[in-house]
């Protein structure tokens, strides 16, 4: 099962990634939490590096086809 749609995988900016993932039907809980922190503005340390780590973790969770 894909955890990140291809159209969102290319987003390397936190705001565009989270905006893309809003349209996905079943979003991983980690993505929901990440985007909630980033969009709240409370966590000013949410960076592109954090996004890259999140993507790597989600890819590791994917089931092989």
pLDDT in tens, 14-50: 999 999 998 888 888 999 999 998 888 766 677 888 9
From 31, 32, 27, select the one nearest 55 (Cα to Cα): 31
pLDDT of residue 46: 77
Non-local CB neighbours of 8 within 8 Å, separated by 6+ positions: 17, 20, 21, 24
Query: The pTM is what?
Result: 0.80
């Amino acid at each position: 099962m894909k955890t990140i749609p291809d159209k969102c995988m290319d987003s390397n900016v936190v705001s565009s990634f989270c905006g893309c993932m809003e349209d996905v039907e079943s979003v991983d809980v980690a993505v929901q939490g990440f985007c909630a922190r980033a969009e709240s503005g409370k966590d000013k340390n949410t960076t592109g590096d954090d996004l890259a780590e999140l993507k790597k973790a989600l890819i590791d969770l994917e089931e092989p086809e």
